[in-house]
Structure 1
Amino acid sequence: MSAARDYGLDDDYQWPRPPEGGWTADDLDELPNLPPHTELIDGSLVFVSPQTRFHMRTIRLLEYALLGQAPDAYDVDREFSVKLDRRNRPEPDVLVYRADADTGPRQTWHHSDSVVLAIEVVSEDSQERDRDVKPRKYALAGIPYYWRVEENEGLPVVYTYELDRATDTYGLTGIHHNRLKLNVPFPLTIDLTVINRRPPVMPPSGLL
């Protein structure tokens, strides 16, 4: 099976060829037929491998937990890209951003200035990006908090980082097994052991 078919494209699909100097952040909205969740790192397109069950369920756990506990001043998106600069537009697995930065239903990216927390769930093909490349870029862009999530015996382990604005680098603030309890970016508690439980389903507002 060809790589193109892995992304639902025809075998004869011609992959985009970068211009001199590489792609820009704005190009992601213009290039046709890009696979879902394509990222831009240093002017190069990065294609995402199929998700594992752990990756998908960890994202779901964190998204629901953050949505349930975030103050009204913040909102939460999953797998939504962030424009860091002209040559970098990564897509955190989960992110928390200022609610006043929502520009409407046709918005395709957040500016790094509005992002409060970026979260990456490490997969086999993203280890170097999630452990080194992305946190360095998120820190330089001024995103205050970063979480890296690793798998250990089927459960998530969350490494939490806070930005040192004097050096524009992240400092490790904790390694969290089973339970995550923090006061920043807002008070929150997450039971990491419930990754395989279904989140509660809210009925339509008209039925409440």
Structure 2
Amino acid sequence: MPLLPEWMTPPRAEGWYAEDLDLLPEAPKHTELMHGAFVFRHLPEPQWHDTVLGQVAAALEDQASKGGRVAREVAVRLDRRNRPEPDLLVTTRAYEEDRTWFAPEDVQLVVEVVSPESAHRDRTVKLRKYAEAGIPHYWCIEDEGSRPVVHVYELDGPTRTYVPAGIFRGSLKRPVPFDISLDLDALTP
């Protein structure tokens, strides 16, 4: 059985810390940290995932100028042992070229485009973790017969859990975190 490279051995018994990712040039791009453990993304993603992600990012960029900035594949440092990297996020922070993560309070919306490899994390683990961190809005985009279906969640502040705000097919209109209107049928590859 081949040995793991030395850099993959956690430096402490409780695993990795969020700041460790910035000190590991050996780590593959898009490595996430969940519960102190590395999560390596399956690349390349399916074409459907990348096409829908690119089109949603472009649409949100066009509409976000009034209320935020769109960033693709930049991590959110939820706490010391969790630094997931959503497919897309909307932030209130200005762009900085060397930025590797955002704090939860700087994030208005997180978008995950579900792929077979990420389905469990996107639907359960990240849903809970983003809510506990106080991120106000979460979208989970699913492939339903090659058409995007968006499951939208809003944060219930007192309980720090997400509540469903709708399942959108065909089109999506939301007043938060800014006025958003998406023609979902136009997003298909």
Helix, strand or coil for the counterpart of 2:91?
A: strand
1:59 pairs with 2:53: yes
Find the partner of 1:175 among 150, 167, 174.
167
* Structure 1 stretches of 4+ moved >3 Å: none
Helix, strand or coil for the counterpart of 2:8?
A: coil
Find the partner of 2:75 among 72, 81, 98.
81
Q: Mapping of 1:33-52 within 5 angstroms?
A: 33-50=26-43, 51-52=45-46
The amino acid across from 2:47 in the alignment is R
Helix, strand or coil for the counterpart of 1:118?
A: strand
Aligned to 1:92: 86
Could you tell me how far apart the structure 2 residues matched to 1:73 and 1:184 are?
9
Aligned to 1:22: 15
Could you tell me how far apart the structure 2 residues matched to 1:139 and 1:53 are?
29
> What RMSD over aligned residues (CA atoms) do the two structures have, in Å?
1.6
Where in structure 1 are there 5+ consecutive unaligned residues?
Answer: 1-10, 198-208
1:153 pairs with 2:145: yes
Aligned to 2:123: 131
Superposed CA offset, 1:4-25 (max 9, x none): xxxxxxx987261113110000
Q: Identify if the C-alpha distance between structure 1 residues 72 and 189 changes in structure 2 by more than 3 Å, giving closer, same or farther.
A: closer
Could you tell me how far apart the structure 2 residues matched to 1:163 and 1:176 are?
18
Could you tell me how far apart the structure 2 residues matched to 1:13 and 1:44 are?
14
Q: Report the Cα offset of residue 111 of structure 1.
A: 0.8
Could you tell me how far apart the structure 1 residues matched to 2:156 and 2:120 are?
22
Q: Identify if the C-alpha distance between structure 1 residues 150 and 196 changes in structure 2 by more than 3 Å, giving closer, same or farther.
A: closer
Find the partner of 1:192 among 178, 184, 188.
184
Find the partner of 1:119 among 90, 104, 111.
111
State the identity as a percent. 45
Superposed CA offset, 1:123-143 (max 9, x none): 111111101100111001100
Could you tell me how far apart the structure 1 residues matched to 2:175 and 2:56 are?
16
Could you tell me how far apart the structure 1 residues matched to 2:71 and 2:104 are?
14
Q: Report the Cα offset of residue 196 of structure 1.
A: 4.3
Normalised to the residue count of structure 1, the TM-score between the two structures is 0.85
Query: Which structure ranks higher in relative contact order (CA pairs < 8 Å, sequence separation ≥ 6)?
Result: 2
Aligned to 1:105: 97
**Greater radius of gyration (CA):** 1
Normalised to the residue count of structure 2, the TM-score between the two structures is 0.93
Q: Identify if the C-alpha distance between structure 1 residues 73 and 112 changes in structure 2 by more than 3 Å, giving closer, same or farther.
A: same
